[in-house]
Structure 1
Amino acid sequence: MDSIQNRINAFVKLGAFLSQFSQEKIEKKQKIAHNELFFDGFKHQLKIAQENNSWFTKENILFAVSSWSSALTKENLDAWLADNELPPVTPKRVAIVMAGNIPLVGFHDFLSVLISGHSVLVKQSSNDKHLLPFLAKYLEYVEAEFKGNITFTEEKLEKFDAVIATGSNNTARYFEFYFKNKPNIIRKSRNSVAVLTGRESEDDLQRLAEDVFTYFGLGCRSVSKLYVPRDYDFNNFFNGMFVKKEIINNAKYANNYDYNKAVYLMSLFDLLENGFLMIKEDESYASPIATIFYEYYENEVDLKIKLHQDKEKIQCIVSKGFIENEIDFGATQHPKLSDYADGVNTLEFLSKLS
Structure 2
Amino acid sequence: MTLETKKSVFVELGKFLSQFSEDNTIKKPNVLNNDPFFDSFIDLIKLSQSHNGWYTPEHVYFSIQSWAKALTEENLNQWLSAYSIDTTESKNVALILAGNIPLVGFHDFLSVLISGHNVLIKTSSNDQHLLPFLAKYIIAIEPKFTDKITFVEGKLENFDAVIATGSNNTARYFEYYFKDKPSIIRKSRNSVAVLNGKETKEQLIALGEDIFRYFGLGCRNVSKLFVPKGYTFDAFFEAIFEYQDVIHYEKYANNYDYNKAVFLMSNFKLLDNGFLTLKEDKSPASPISSVFYEFYDDINELQTRLESESEQIQCVVSDKLIENSIDFGQTQHPKLWNYADNVDTISFLLTT
TM-score by length of 1: 0.98
SS of the residue aligned with 2:223?
A: strand
**Which residue does the alignment assign to 2:150?**
151
SS of the residue aligned with 2:147?
A: coil
**Which residue does the alignment assign to 1:27?**
26
| Residue segments in structure 2 that go unaligned for 5+ positions in a row | none
Per-residue CA distance 1:283-325 (angstroms, 9 max, x = gap) = 1111011000000001112111111111000000001121221
**Which residue does the alignment assign to 1:180?**
179
SS of the residue aligned with 1:148?
A: helix
Residues of 2 paired with 1:85 and 1:293: CA distance? 43
1:1-354 map, 5 Å? 2-353=1-352
Residues of 1 paired with 2:39 and 2:147: CA distance? 24
- Equivalent residues of 1:195, 1:226 under 8 A apart: yes
Residues of 1 paired with 2:133 and 2:178: CA distance? 28
Residues of 2 paired with 1:257 and 1:349: CA distance? 40
> Cα RMSD over matched residues?
0.8
Residues of 1 paired with 2:66 and 2:134: CA distance? 15
SS of the residue aligned with 2:84?
A: coil
- Equivalent residues of 2:85, 2:116 under 8 A apart: no
Residues of 2 paired with 1:158 and 1:19: CA distance? 35
SS of the residue aligned with 1:147?
A: helix
SS of the residue aligned with 2:251?
A: helix
- Equivalent residues of 2:2, 2:86 under 8 A apart: no
Residues of 1 paired with 2:94 and 2:272: CA distance? 43
SS of the residue aligned with 1:6?
A: helix
Residues of 2 paired with 1:12 and 1:50: CA distance? 27
Residues of 1 paired with 2:42 and 2:291: CA distance? 34
Letter in 2 for 1:185: I
TM-score by length of 2: 0.99
Letter in 1 for 2:194: V
Letter in 2 for 1:276: F
Residues of 2 paired with 1:203 and 1:48: CA distance? 34
- Equivalent residues of 1:257, 1:277 under 8 A apart: yes
Residues of 2 paired with 1:205 and 1:84: CA distance? 38
Letter in 1 for 2:72: T
- Equivalent residues of 1:87, 1:351 under 8 A apart: no
Q: Provide closer, same or farther for how the CA distance between residues 22 and 266 of structure 1 changes in structure 2, counting only shifts above 3 A.
A: same
Q: CA deviation at 1:87?
A: 4.7
Q: CA deviation at 1:57?
A: 0.3
Task: Point out 4+ residue stretches in structure 1 off by more than 4 angstroms.
Answer: none
Q: CA deviation at 1:27?
A: 2.0
| Residue segments in structure 1 that go unaligned for 5+ positions in a row | none
- Equivalent residues of 2:63, 2:102 under 8 A apart: yes
Per-residue CA distance 1:101-159 (angstroms, 9 max, x = gap) = 00000000000000001010000000011100010011011012211110001211110
SS of the residue aligned with 2:219?
A: coil
Letter in 2 for 1:274: N
Q: Out of 80-89 and 202-211, give the one that drifted further.
A: 80-89
Letter in 1 for 2:80: L
Percent identical among aligned pairs is 58
